[in-house]
Structure 1
Amino acid sequence: MENSKNHGQDQVFKDEITKVSDFKFGTTVVNVFDDMVSRSVPYYNETQRMLAEIAADHAKEGSYVYDLGCSTGTTLIGIDALIPSDIKFIGIDESPEMIDKCHVKLKEAGFVRPYELTVGDLHQEKLPIANASVVILCLTLQFVRPLYRERLLRNIYEGLNPGGVLLLVEKVLAESSIFNRDFIKYYYNYKRRNHYSEMEISQKREALENVLIPYKLSENLLLLKEAGFADCETFFKWYNFSGMIAYKKS
């Protein structure tokens, strides 16, 4: 993860807000996003490392690797050194500010492989995905409105080459509601250890309430199977965060 001093410290919710608006990935968030996600997502660096090594095993020469909801490009940068240089990277994000930041970071990282960054809405009926050996949704599907999630996953399945994989990292709900309260408590304790105040935790929770809609792990796995992925596995789990891999049979 990049040094937060170079990209701004997350203080978006530090001061009291009279009326908290829905969370948006605009300029204010983009400028501190790398610090925000590293302090808000447990084992974020390790999850990124895992995504990179899994992607490296499945990326095929002459194909494309897609990062849907690519944000500032951290995932693309992480997998770059492990994947053959003739594989094209395609990053899509609905936030123009994120795409601008991603361009800057890829240039700073010395990218030489072919790549394309596009502003795109994951809710659109037919997202242009083709010749893909790896598709990544890292903390992205949770922001797609539930009504459109199955369609997006079917779109990804159709765009994957046989033998390709979808890598999905999500915030999730506990399978049993009796554990949700504890898992949320442990998660907020994590944020406190990373120096977020009670006000910051509360205001961000309110801002995300109608924007980030988590599913249970079992519900996500069912969605993947209904989209066509017969083989799915969980490769990471920490309380209310999980990583999944879905394979398209040859």
Structure 2
Amino acid sequence: MTERNIGRDDVFKDHQEAVPDFTFNDRVAGVFDDMVSRSVPFYGEMQRMVAELAGRYAQPDTHVYDLGCSTGTTLLMMDKTVPDTARFFGVDESAEMINRCREKLDGFNLRRPVELSVADLTCNVPVDRASVVTMVLVLQFIRPMNRLEIVSRIQEGMVKGGVFLLVEKVLTEERSFNREFIDFYYGFKRKNKYSELEISQKREALENVLIPYRTSENAAMLRNAGFGEVEVFFRWYNFTGLIARKL
């Protein structure tokens, strides 16, 4: 997949006296692809694995949802692996992200149309007859008190044998390792040419917005929501991918 018109992430390049909470506004949407590729370790491989798993478990004549679809990378990747008869839906609460997603998808020759919509998942989880649902680095931005209900509604809207693919930034199981893993993560950002100012200001912007769970807490939530089988499919220090199947 060739990305087009990617802006360089400079959102936190300049010093800010008061760093506002992170939001997926128009400025972030314009540089999002560069931001995640430089901020999320193995992002490309993570997306490839999600698409590969989606291709294995997607069922003909069912629905495939990417909740928190951002600029549409996951949808583009899954379009190559999922049966043509499966319908695609992309949902995001940011209208700016949906606009960018439509612009990006229009630049590719997709095998099927994609229905995009703006929705707040805490109020509306539009999942129906789904064999695959993905949330890639999304649930971590939703208030913890709402997460189980959202995941339960996803499970209820899925067909038997369907899978939920959840990728999240996580805390370590043993607290003593958390600081070290975060240090390795910031080292990854430095290698991708983020300055100390950019790293510190983004950390401050995300402090009250991105609230991670432990991998075990996410797995327990998936089981409590009704999924019968849960397994880790990806792990890099403080990032984890989980697959949950409805039996």
Task: Quickly name the TM-score band, shorter chain normalised.
Answer: over 0.9
Residue 62 of structure 2 is matched in structure 1 by: 63
Residue 40 of structure 1 is matched in structure 2 by: 39
Rounded Cα–Cα distance in structure 1 between residues aligned with 2:228 and 2:84: 30
Residues 7-45 of structure 1, C-alpha deviations (whole Å, 9 max, x = no match):
100000000011000000000000000000000000000
SS at match of 1:32: helix
Residue 120 of structure 1 is matched in structure 2 by: 119
Rounded Cα–Cα distance in structure 1 between residues aligned with 2:177 and 2:40: 19
Residue 166 of structure 1 is matched in structure 2 by: 164
- What's the C-alpha RMSD, in Å, of the aligned pairs? 1.0
Which has the higher mean CA deviation after the structures are superposed, 102-111 or 234-243? 102-111
Kindly provide the amino acid, as one letter, of the partner of residue 187 in structure 1. Y
- Equivalent of residue 218 in structure 2, options 217, 220, 232: 220
Rounded Cα–Cα distance in structure 1 between residues aligned with 2:43 and 2:173: 22
Alpha-carbon contact 1:129-1:160 (below 8 Å) kept: yes
Rounded Cα–Cα distance in structure 2 between residues aligned with 1:19 and 1:246: 40
Structure 1 stretches of at least 4 aligned residues deviating more than 2 Å after TM superposition? 1-4
Alpha-carbon contact 2:170-2:213 (below 8 Å) kept: yes
Alpha-carbon contact 2:155-2:246 (below 8 Å) kept: yes
Residues 90-116 of structure 1, C-alpha deviations (whole Å, 9 max, x = no match):
000000010011111111012241321
- Equivalent of residue 144 in structure 1, options 136, 142, 146: 142
Q: CA deviation at 1:128?
A: 2.0
Kindly provide the amino acid, as one letter, of the partner of residue 175 in structure 2. S
1:65-144 map, 5 Å: 65-124=64-123, 126-144=124-142
**CA 1:80–1:169 in 2, change beyond 3 Å: closer, same or farther?**
same
Rounded Cα–Cα distance in structure 1 between residues aligned with 2:237 and 2:3: 26
- Alignment length, in residue pairs? 247
Residue 14 of structure 1 is matched in structure 2 by: 13
Q: CA deviation at 1:2?
A: 4.5
- Equivalent of residue 154 in structure 2, options 153, 156, 159: 156
Structure 1: 5+ residue stretches without partners: none
Residues 192-236 of structure 1, C-alpha deviations (whole Å, 9 max, x = no match):
000000000000000000100000000000000100012100001
Which has the higher mean CA deviation after the structures are superposed, 77-86 or 134-143? 77-86
Kindly provide the amino acid, as one letter, of the partner of residue 75 in structure 1. T
Which has the higher mean CA deviation after the structures are superposed, 112-121 or 182-191? 112-121
Q: CA deviation at 1:3?
A: 4.5
Q: CA deviation at 1:117?
A: 0.2
Residue 237 of structure 1 is matched in structure 2 by: 235
Rounded Cα–Cα distance in structure 2 between residues aligned with 1:7 and 1:97: 15
Kindly provide the amino acid, as one letter, of the partner of residue 77 in structure 2. G
Kindly provide the amino acid, as one letter, of the partner of residue 67 in structure 1. D
Alpha-carbon contact 2:132-2:164 (below 8 Å) kept: yes
TM score, norm. by length of structure 1: 0.97
Alpha-carbon contact 1:92-1:118 (below 8 Å) kept: yes
Rounded Cα–Cα distance in structure 1 between residues aligned with 2:3 and 2:126: 34
**CA 1:2–1:191 in 2, change beyond 3 Å: closer, same or farther?**
farther
Alpha-carbon contact 1:93-1:120 (below 8 Å) kept: yes
Rounded Cα–Cα distance in structure 2 between residues aligned with 1:101 and 1:2: 16
Alpha-carbon contact 1:172-1:240 (below 8 Å) kept: yes
TM score, norm. by length of structure 2: 0.98
1:181 aligned onto 2:201: no
Alpha-carbon contact 1:2-1:34 (below 8 Å) kept: no
1:25 aligned onto 2:24: yes
Rounded Cα–Cα distance in structure 1 between residues aligned with 2:139 and 2:69: 12
Kindly provide the amino acid, as one letter, of the partner of residue 193 in structure 2. H
Alpha-carbon contact 2:79-2:111 (below 8 Å) kept: no
Structure 2: 5+ residue stretches without partners: none
Alpha-carbon contact 1:86-1:114 (below 8 Å) kept: no
